């Protein structure tokens, strides 16, 4: 495909870097990026420096890692699409009812791309990642989408099949052992005809041996004439030790169809939301970044990426003028970015001078990042904090019983005398700063205090009334400071980590020998650093959990 003269070359190169990092499951060395992209090392260095300044990647020595903040690009597409927000709860409920994995997928040219996954926790886990792209002919949703294909779509599919007979370009599925032949093409055409007649489709081990799925289209509320095309496709996925393709059709298909009817009713009765508030004046930020980093900051790349964030909830289709207003960019700059994205299949014209994001935006880091965990999110921030305060830092969660905390992430300092705690360690919640931050939030709902308040040192609070008063103070002041209550000589201060709803899901702390920081210094010197780090962790967590579940 010929690159338009007005396309922004640095933006194309930046997108190439992000896609290569995505294909590498989120991490590549700088030299690996140089080889994969075939760009000069100096160009790779400048691109990664720019992406790091935007918070989209993290450079650790010679390695480049995708960062959760990059998910805001995919979030913009999913928010504009609205389907995950409207249908995810019903997909999750169906997964609970059937005790099987349930997915939602949309068409992406001659492939399908997942927009939601409700999975079952088993040793034999069946699920793809949100954003994964699969070839249409090897899936259950594929024939349902293919019923809408034009002659041009079928021709493009045949050209792709001829160019990539083993499906090597679809990294989310095992490649074919042998190249596809004419019989495979005929089978997909036949499956598409059956899907058009039946209103559902099966995948009987086409992706890999043992995997079976049944799919039903969720029809759009917007009719084209008398026809309602699929807005997405809902699928139930299992394996042959639990269901054959036949039993999926006879046992689970009726329940899937009933759930899809409810999904369509949800789409029919939910009016479009009012336009949300787009990010504004991002061009001012990019200008300041250019002044700070100089030639290492590629302003045209950063400004181009901000164009994607102009779309979102209530803003599924935007004009050039609206994009320019949302981003603070000049119309000419926004126009060139949109031309570039249309060339890259990330944006498509939708009608009267408007543009919309395509599912391909999810190819920019979303699949590997959709499986991130809270410790994954927190760890680089803990490393930065430890390097600044020269004390060990940790993240912990509360056990289901509420009696203990468990350490889930930790970065130790290099001191001779340091707090020695390993991941997975459990400690009594009532006697730790981490535990008190977590208990303070938990007791808002009148959850009972831990039962056994044993004195671990002469300083340990063991009176329930006094502990309740302490937790009330922790809740109001926003931190917990524990002085030699778990172990003599050990002092610790902790702050909460909150999810999108404001609920405390973890706690962040630093611990040290009491001689290194006075109680006053813990509050004046360490607390601001902890609070700032918690804010950064929460920002990444809120971005990552907008459309995905973070364990």
pLDDT tens digits along 68-104: 999 999 999 999 999 999 999 999 999 999 999 999 9
Let me know whether 264 and 289 are in one domain: no
Contact 372, 544 (CB under 8 A): yes
Let me know whether 176 and 149 are in one domain: yes
In a domain, 193, yes or no: yes
In a domain, 406, yes or no: yes
**Rounded to 5°, angle at Cα 88 from 87 and 91:** 90
Of 343, 369, 395, at which residue does a domain stop? Answer: 369
- The torsion angles phi and psi of 397, rounded to 5 degrees, stand at -125, 165
Has residue 122 got a pLDDT over 80? no
CB atoms within 10 A of CB 417: 11
So what's the pLDDT on residue 545? 96
In a domain, 551, yes or no: no
Q: Indicate yes or no: pTM above 0.95.
A: no
Q: Which two tokens stand for residue 497?
A: 């980590």
Q: Tell me the C-alpha distance between 231 and 130, whole Å.
A: 17
How confident is residue 389, by pLDDT bands cut at 50, 70 and 90? very high
**Mean of pLDDT values over 110-133:** 84
pLDDT tens digits along 285-304: 676 666 676 778 898 999 99
pLDDT tens digits along 191-249: 999 999 999 999 999 998 999 999 999 999 887 777 899 999 999 999 888 888 889 99
So what's the pLDDT on residue 416? 46
Of 269, 299, 325, at which residue does a domain stop? Answer: 269
Q: Is 328 left (phi over 0), alpha (psi -120 to 50) or beta?
A: left
Let me know whether 263 and 285 are in one domain: no
Q: Tell me the C-alpha distance between 37 and 541, whole Å.
A: 30
* Cα-based torsion angle of the residue sequence 70, 75, 80, 84 in order, rounded to the nearest 10 degrees: 160
Let me know whether 381 and 416 are in one domain: yes
* DSSP class per residue in 201-250: EEEESSSSTTEEEEEEEEE-SS-BTTB--EEEEEEEEEETTT--HHHIII
Let me know whether 237 and 290 are in one domain: no
- State what percent of residues in the chain have pLDDT above 90: 77
Locus of tokens 């001779």: 416
Q: Which two tokens stand for residue 20?
A: 């290569």
List the domain range (segments joined by +) for residue 90: 85-269
Has residue 461 got a pLDDT over 70? yes
- State what percent of residues in the chain have pLDDT above 70: 94
**Rounded to 5°, angle at Cα 308 from 306 and 310:** 80
How confident is residue 24, by pLDDT bands cut at 50, 70 and 90? very high
Let me know whether 259 and 289 are in one domain: no
Residue 362: give its domain's CATH number: 1.10.10.10
Q: Is the dihedral of CA 105, 108, 113, 116 positive or negative?
A: negative
pLDDT tens digits along 338-350: 999 999 999 999 9
Has residue 180 got a pLDDT over 80? no
Residue 483: give its domain's CATH number: 3.30.450.40
Residues contacting 298, CB < 8 A, separation 6+: 10, 14, 46, 47, 50
Look over the chain and give the mean of its residue pLDDT values, rounded to a whole number.
Answer: 91
Q: Tell me the C-alpha distance between 503 and 469, whole Å.
A: 20
Locus of tokens 């300044």: 53
In a domain, 182, yes or no: yes
So what's the pLDDT on residue 124? 57
From the list 200, 160, 537, 538, the residue with the least C-alpha distance to 379 is: 537
So what's the pLDDT on residue 538? 97
pLDDT tens digits along 476-499: 999 999 999 999 999 999 999 999
Residues contacting 34, CB < 8 A, separation 6+: 40, 41, 44
CA dist list (Å): 401 to 15, 129, 236, 429, 494: 46, 31, 34, 10, 21
pLDDT tens digits along 531-546: 999 999 999 999 999 9
So what's the pLDDT on residue 115? 97
How confident is residue 421, by pLDDT bands cut at 50, 70 and 90? confident
Let me know whether 42 and 170 are in one domain: no
Residues contacting 391, CB < 8 A, separation 6+: 413, 415, 510, 511, 512, 516, 526
Number of domains within the chain: 3
From the list 536, 539, 550, the residue with the least C-alpha distance to 384 is: 536
Let me know whether 361 and 387 are in one domain: no
In a domain, 145, yes or no: yes
In a domain, 173, yes or no: yes
Q: Which two tokens stand for residue 31?
A: 């030299």
Q: Which residues of 515-546 are buried (b: 16+ CB within 10 A; e: fewer)?
A: eebeeeebeeebbebbeebbebbbebbebbbb
How confident is residue 451, by pLDDT bands cut at 50, 70 and 90? confident
Q: Tell me the C-alpha distance between 543 and 366, whole Å.
A: 11
CB atoms within 10 A of CB 404: 19
Let me know whether 204 and 102 are in one domain: yes
Q: What is the SS3 assignment for 23? A: helix
pLDDT tens digits along 26-54: 999 999 999 999 999 999 999 999 999 99
Of 246, 269, 292, at which residue does a domain stop? Answer: 269
Let me know whether 230 and 352 are in one domain: no
Q: Which two tokens stand for residue 408?
A: 């889930």
So what's the pLDDT on residue 289? 66
Q: Tell me the C-alpha distance between 132 and 162, whole Å.
A: 22
So what's the pLDDT on residue 283? 62
Strand-by-strand arrangement of the 393-398 sheet: 426-428, 404-411, 393-398, 504-513, 490-498, 480-483
In a domain, 469, yes or no: yes
Secondary element (H or E) of residue 440: helix 433-442
Let me know whether 236 and 307 are in one domain: no
Let me know whether 190 and 329 are in one domain: no
Q: What is the SS3 assignment for 504? A: strand
Q: Tell me the C-alpha distance between 131 and 140, whole Å.
A: 17
Q: Tell me the C-alpha distance between 60 and 238, whole Å.
A: 39
In a domain, 219, yes or no: yes
So what's the pLDDT on residue 524? 96
Residues contacting 520, CB < 8 A, separation 6+: none
Q: Is the dihedral of CA 22, 108, 323, 543 positive or negative?
A: negative
CB atoms within 10 A of CB 155: 12
């Amino acid at each position: 495909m010929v690159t338009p003269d007005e396309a922004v070359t640095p933006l194309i190169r930046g997108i190439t870097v992000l896609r290569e990092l995505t294909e590498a499951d989120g991490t590549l060395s700088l030299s690996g990026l140089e080889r994969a992209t075939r760009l000069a090392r100096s160009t790779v260095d400048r691109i990664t420096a720019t992406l790091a300044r935007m918070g989209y990647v993290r450079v650790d020595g010679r390695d480049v890692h995708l960062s959760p903040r990059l998910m805001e690009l995919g979030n913009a597409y999913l928010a504009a699409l609205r389907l995950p927000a409207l249908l995810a709860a019903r997909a999750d409920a169906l997964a609970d009812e059937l005790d099987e994995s349930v997915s939602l997928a949309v068409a992406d040219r001659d492939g399908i791309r997942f927009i939601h996954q409700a999975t079952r926790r088993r040793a034999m886990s069946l699920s793809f990642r949100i954003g994964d792209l699969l070839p249409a002919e090897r899936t259950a949703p594929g024939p349902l989408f293919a019923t809408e294909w034009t002659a041009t779509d079928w021709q493009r599919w045949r050209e792709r099949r001829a160019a990539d007979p083993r499906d090597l370009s679809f990294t989310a599925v095992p490649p074919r052992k042998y190249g596809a032949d004419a019989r495979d093409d005929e089978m997909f055409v036949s499956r598409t005809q059956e899907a058009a007649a039946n209103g559902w489709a099966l995948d009987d081990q086409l992706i890999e041996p043992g995997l079976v799925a049944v799919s039903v289209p969720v029809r759009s509320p917007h009719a084209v004439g008398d026809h309602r095309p699929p807005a997405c496709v809902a699928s139930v996925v299992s394996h042959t030790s639990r269901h054959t393709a036949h039993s999926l059709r006879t046992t689970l298909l009726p329940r899937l169809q009933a759930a899809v009817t409810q999904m369509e009713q949800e789409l029919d009765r939910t009016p479009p939301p009012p336009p949300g508030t787009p990010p504004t004046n991002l061009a001012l930020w990019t200008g300041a970044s250019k002044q700070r980093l100089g030639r290492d900051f590629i302003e045209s790349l950063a400004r181009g990426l901000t164009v994607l964030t102009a779309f979102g909830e209530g803003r599924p289709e935007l004009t050039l003028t609206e994009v320019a207003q949302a981003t603070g960019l000049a119309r000419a700059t926004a126009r060139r970015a949109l031309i570039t994205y249309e060339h890259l299949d990330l944006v498509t014209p939708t009608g009267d001078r408007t543009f919309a994001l395509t599912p391909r935006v999810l190819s920019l880091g979303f699949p590997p990042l959709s499986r991130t965990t809270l410790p994954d999110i927190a760890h680089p921030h803990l490393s930065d904090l430890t390097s600044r305060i020269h004390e060990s830092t940790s993240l912990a969660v509360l056990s289901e019983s509420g009696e203990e905390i468990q350490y889930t992430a930790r970065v130790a300092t290099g001191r001779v005398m340091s707090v020695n705690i390993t991941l997975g360690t459990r400690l009594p919640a009532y006697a730790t700063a981490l535990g008190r931050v977590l208990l303070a939030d938990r007791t808002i709902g009148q959850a009972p205090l831990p039962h056994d308040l044993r004195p671990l040192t002469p300083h340990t609070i063991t009176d329930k009334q006094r502990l309740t008063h302490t937790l009330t103070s922790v809740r109001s002041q926003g931190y917990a400071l524990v002085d030699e209550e778990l172990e003599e000589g050990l002092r610790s201060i902790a702050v909460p980590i909150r999810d999108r709803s404001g609920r405390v899901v973890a706690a962040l702390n630093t611990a040290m020998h009491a001689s290194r920081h006075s109680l006053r210094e813990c509050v004046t010197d360490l607390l601001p650093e902890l609070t700032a780090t918690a804010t950064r962790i929460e920002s990444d967590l809120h971005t990552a959990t907008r459309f995905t579940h973070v364990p």
